[in-house]
Copies of this chain bind each other. A is one copy, B any other.
């Protein structure tokens, strides 16, 4: 094997993917572990990516008729007892508030005050179905009150023992949509509409190809009738569930008493949905686009589209270069990319040029520009694109006037590269032997994950046992799958449709 070229991130993806991930997150200054076990600090560069995600998603939610609101952080313990499956799914991993005051412990420290013990413990929300449902029960009286289309941006807590930045943390940030409808058909339409919004966002904003599909019964959200997800493939050939949309039927409405008088004066239970994406998306972004030099950001989400690095050796050159950079910045920021002003940062910090350059490479800025006296004299801009290893040069006016086109090319190139990687790692498998061989394989090309295997299946204990042994899960049954008669790989029973199997985060 030829010697690897030196890379900015060590180890490389091929050497140790999980450690590479941690180093990319660190090198891009996205987040770090905090002093509270399992909770992360999201650093400014990482948070700016989240803000960009929020802004674009929020606009999509509002364009589909939703409004934002805010509900309590705490959920009374008794609320979790109402929906049996739901409590089973979430009670095992939640932060429990039992006291409302601290007092001196007599040894110079503090302790929860015994006199301030809560009569009923409060749970820090792991998700808000129960508390929002109780509120909706008050809001909904008549069919005229429907539909209710609400979204909440919030923090949630699910106690985790083994955590990884963005991918699995005790506290994370997310949005959760909660809607109430008069009819099953409307609620099902809403469920699919929001799945489409997520897929659109993943593919056109994150440049991350996804498969839309329905979860199997074993993978459903606790309490849901149907759970749909978008599934993405990471560069280690593992799948990542990137967003979910749940049709909750009347399960929560019945548990919480969400009822309305219909046009005939009959009192009937409503139909509800919920849907969410979280800061986990940032983990997906990293594992989709980053390379051995660090993060590569799709322009639509990059906090800075372009970083300009002035190059000068003395004050005279500086007095020439700095105003030139400022003018170029103005020309660029006066243009729009994807409906927003182009975002430019001039980095004039007094540190070594190489160090500066590599900081921006590792942070994934789409376009890097160096401006020195020679560039000014030549009327040219030489620049690097993060999606390519080459160096580009363009007349200054052309560079500035084409910047939106350049950014769109990068956005498109990142998507195409991810799509090709996914296609190269997708296979149809028709025998259990091939299935086992595929997921047993550890050869280099397949990294450690195997890939996405489309297979016939029927849910059964035999399948569950086999998958558990191989550490494989069925990700979803793709919505666009054509009917195709076949036989379940695990039981031989007749099957009408293939599911997607993969190792997963």
Contact = CB atoms under 8 A, between A and B. Distances in A.
Contact of A96 (B70, B74, B75, B99): B99
B36 A101 contact: no
A112 B101 contact: no
A78 B80 CA distance: 30
A68 B94 CA distance: 27
A146 to B, nearest CB: 13
B109 A41 contact: no
A138 B34 CA distance: 10
Interface string A86-101: 0100011111111111
A47 B68 CA distance: 7
Interface in A103-122: 103, 108-112, 121-122
A76 interface: yes
B96 A112 contact: yes
B80 A110 contact: yes
A157 interface: yes
Given A97-B96, A101-B91, A134-B35, A47 B72 contact: no
Contact of A34 (B72, B77, B96, B103): B72
Interface in A41-99: 41-44, 47-48, 50-51, 67-81, 87, 91-99
Given A112-B96, A124-B124, A35 B79 contact: yes
Contacts of A103: 91
Contact of A102 (B32, B41, B91, B99): B91
A173 interface: yes
12 contacts: A36-B122, A39-B72, A40-B72, A47-B70, A70-B173, A77-B110, A81-B109, A87-B110, A91-B103, A94-B102, A96-B102, A155-B155
Q: Nearest 4 A-B pairs (CB), nearest first?
A: A39-B72, A44-B67, A42-B70, A96-B99
Interface of A: 32, 34-36, 39-44, 47-48, 50-51, 67-81, 87, 91-103, 108-112, 121-124, 131, 134-135, 138, 150, 154-155, 157, 159, 171, 173
